[in-house]
A and B are shown apart, each in its own frame.
Chain A
Amino acid sequence: MTNISMTVNGKTVSGEVEGRTLLVDFLRNDLRLTGTHVGCDTSQCGACTVHVDGVAVKSCTMLAAEADGADVATIEGQAGADGSLNTIQAAFQEHHGLQCGFCTPGMVMAAADLLKNNPKPTEAEIRHHLEGNICRCTGYHNIVKSIMAASGQDVSQLAAE
């Protein structure tokens, strides 16, 4: 067992983990931050996407011990202190970018990573950026639309609905 500590959503946390404990399991089981989800076991689906030191990471691909000392952001830390949705979250609600909600935390975290580096992505750039995030509900239409809207682009002229 190893003692680790890190900053998660601005708070210092610590815990004792086995060497094999994944970051996602530490977040979910030790910290009870259950907004980060596990949808596969091959690092394909992206439901577990969090930010580690400002970079989007699939938290199932990283050992908890590797995140020792890191600054971690999860979906639970995205809304304002008063509970207000951030720009991306609000765009997902406005444009129906989620249905069952299970992939959603990963989508929001992946979108935040994209918009940080590419504030006005094209449709193709968004679709390419989401290649590591699988959604089974939306057919992606409204996810892509939400991210375009969150970046301030006019989405009213997209394919008719």
Chain B
Amino acid sequence: MPKDSGIGASSKRREDVRFLTGTGQYTDDINIHGQTYVYFLRSDVAHGKINNIDTSAAAAMPGVVRIFTGADFEGIGSIPCGWQVTDRHGEPMQEPAHPVLAQGKVRHVGDPIAAVVAESLEQARDAAEAIDLDIEELPAVVDMKAALSDGATKVHDDLSSNLCYDWGFVEENKGAVDEAIKNAAHVTTLELVNNRLVANPMEPRVAVGDYNRANDESTLFTTSQNPHVIRLLMGAFVLGIPEHKLRVVAPDVGGGFGTKIFHYAEEAFCTFAARQINRPVKWTASRSEAFMSDAHGRDHVTKIELALDADNNFTAVRTETYANMGAYLSTFAPSVPTWLHGTLMAGNYKTPLIYVNVKAVFTNTVPVDAYRGAGRPEATYQLERVIDKAARELGVDPIALRRQNFITEFPYATPVAVEYDTGNYPATMDKLEEIADLSGFDARRKASEAKGKLRGLGVNCYIEACGIAPSNLVGQLGARAGLYDAATVRVNATGTISVMVGAHSHGQGHETAFPQVVAEMLGIDENMIDIVHGDSSKIPFGMGTYGSRSIAVCGSAMVRATEKIINKAKKIASHLLEASEADIELKDGQFSVAGTDKSVAWGDVTLAAYVPHNYPLEDIEPGLEETAFYDPSNFTYPSGAYACEVEVDPETGKVTIERFAAADDFGNVINPMIVTGQVHGGIGQGIGQALLENCAYDENGQLLSASYMDYAMPRASDVPFYTVDHSCQTPCTHNPLGVKGCGEAGAIGSPPSVVNAVVDALQSGGHNVTHIDMPVSPSRVWAAMNNA
């Protein structure tokens, strides 16, 4: 019988009401009296030397308040990078400066050169057209391998080359891995591209800077997944504003998917400019601007080798990846191809020897950083594709090959430095085979063939690492911030509760799911509990929402704070009941004395805390409010098995997703409805990557896909209904809720099964096609069929 409240209940989302009635408040809905509007003049060349910027004519245009250029930001800090990777020789990565507005050079199409602040957006835009720019176009580097060749044009003149770092992991294993591959009974090799994507939350980025000169306080309203991270980075490293004079607010945010983690130049600009002109400054990205200024995702070029012994046991994996950083280092960019990718290369398998090499490369393109999954989709894709290819080469069933190599004992220490606490990979695969009705595939294939279509089945597994922590470990790995989170539980006199959380909800439903946890712990109605998030002046210093961390990290902080509440409330109850504290029990919102019928209600205790007339003032303080910071002792490791069935039209190469099934293990689940929705969304994005989406540059660094006319977003007709199950639950052993995180799983788990299915379909039609790079577009499929 499903629960109707508390942990495990599919409580309907309370935030929906405002979103469904047009009463949400997104950043662009915020308008401050006297606000100005900024329009950024951006580079239309990928690489160029700025000889001169003449703003005199523009400055005289109607409505112009002030025009800023890079010269106005001399002495202002660089947009910082939050993660320093150490290369395989022990040297720190090359880390270029990233000015708020371009200084001397532009390095990608979209690099902001000047900012026109005017009374209206139209006036700002008109004036920007009157700026006289003298830019000398320079050769651009776009292709990563070309960027590393001798004599290549350098993106940053002050760096020694375009190589950000050359990372080896685990470097000490390299010799043994090389040896194992040399001596293997079979080695399967695959070269592939993990296509560059644009996250494309439907709400473009917006920033509104405000300044109160009287008390020297700045406020930034911004489309962020983590307002405290922005306050830290922008306040401390860019603008030098102390925390107590800087408030960052991320109100309703229309999707993030990673790209709203990072601190962006436009945020610093609006905050800075508001102080300069003593008026609010608002910026709203157009979608085209988003394409050329939001951090992109993926963009790896990889060679992977999988070695097997004569019994088809995996003996070694060796990879070499080129990872595009773009023109500057975005906030967490260096960590994505390294610690979020290399550590996942064991996947679900007991491969004893693994070596991962990653060369991160600067190019004249938009910076690349975390996008839903961030490194883990890249790891999963290459591993699950090469396993599929190996199965075909060896003539064995791809599911059986996976099962044979599954990790089955936990905890399991991988050769890539992480320890999986729990999992049950055979069980998720069993569940997948059931929900995907794999036994019915042959009949469905025959039916497709009768219609003249090729049908393919692709299966894959995935492992994910969520809730990156502990902070002291990630500090050793190069993180320049802690990765704990925080919650304050404020119980009001009448027993209602506000929980201030460091996590930020931008679609995940925290406002509904988080109260379910507190309600369960206290035995009260979840509607007595509200979540407060997104405003640095209201919430404790938490690190925000990304990496599927919210419930595992911030939720754990909330549990710890609630435990403190319960402990104190029991003290109060023991006083009211004139009983020993050890005998007090809390159940269904009633404190009772064990073994008696004496009890006092939750509301009586909370009232006593704030009207402490009958209260142990000599022992405890009045009030009922507690804060906890929680730093996990390990990552969490969700896992799963996915299956995709496609039909391929042999005449056109068009691929249609016919069925998609996902069996996930997220540990314990707070709200199954929300978790299912997260998986749906991730699968939608994964299918988008596999079939449709591609962020394309030409050889001169021109961005070819800068609008929805050119970048193929998945539409409703591109996807089927999905079959999703998360009944296989091996709870996380090291957080109090036993939760693992579910936000990224769908995007990690789905691309390989789609491509595996397409290859299967083509092979079933007699085409000797072993790989097609994503997006598996009709033209690529048709070409593969007709050349193979």
Contact = CB atoms under 8 A, between A and B. Distances in A.
Interface of A: 18, 20, 28-29, 32-42, 44-45, 47, 74-76, 78-79, 83, 85, 89, 92-94, 96, 98-105, 108, 123-124, 126-128, 130-131, 133-145, 158-161
B744 to A, nearest CB: 13
B613 interface: no
A123 B722 CA distance: 13
B721 interface: yes
Interface stretch (B252-260, B300-308, B633-641): B252-260
B614 interface: no
A59 to B, nearest CB: 13
30 contacts: A20-B122, A28-B28, A34-B26, A35-B23, A35-B24, A40-B287, A40-B707, A41-B286, A42-B708, A44-B707, A92-B20, A93-B17, A98-B19, A99-B509, A99-B681, A100-B202, A100-B252, A101-B15, A101-B24, A101-B254, A102-B203, A123-B721, A124-B717, A128-B716, A136-B200, A136-B257, A139-B680, A141-B684, A142-B680, A143-B716
Interface stretch (B151-159, B264-272, B669-677): B669-677
Nearest to B253: A100
Contact of A127 (B29, B257, B687, B717): B717
B709 A42 contact: yes
A144 B718 CA distance: 13
Interface residues of B, number: 64
Contacts of A44: 707-709, 713
Given A45-B202, A102-B26, A102-B203, A139 B682 contact: yes
Given A76-B23, A98-B20, A137 B717 contact: no
Contact of B202 (A36, A126, A135): A135
B341 interface: no
A33 B255 contact: no
A91 to B, nearest CB: 10
B300 to A, nearest CB: 22
Contact of B680 (A100, A124, A126, A138): A138
Contacts of A28: 28-29
B404 interface: no
A134 to B, nearest CB: 5
Nearest to A101: B19
B684 A138 contact: yes
B163 interface: no
A83 B18 CA distance: 10
B725 interface: yes
B288 interface: yes
Contacts of A39: 202-204, 254, 287
Contacts of A108: 20
Please indicate which of the listed interface residues A130, A145, A161 has the most CB atoms of chain B within 10 Å of its own CB. A161
B715 interface: yes
A139 B681 contact: yes
A127 B255 CA distance: 22
B20 A104 contact: yes
Contacts of B681: 99, 136-139
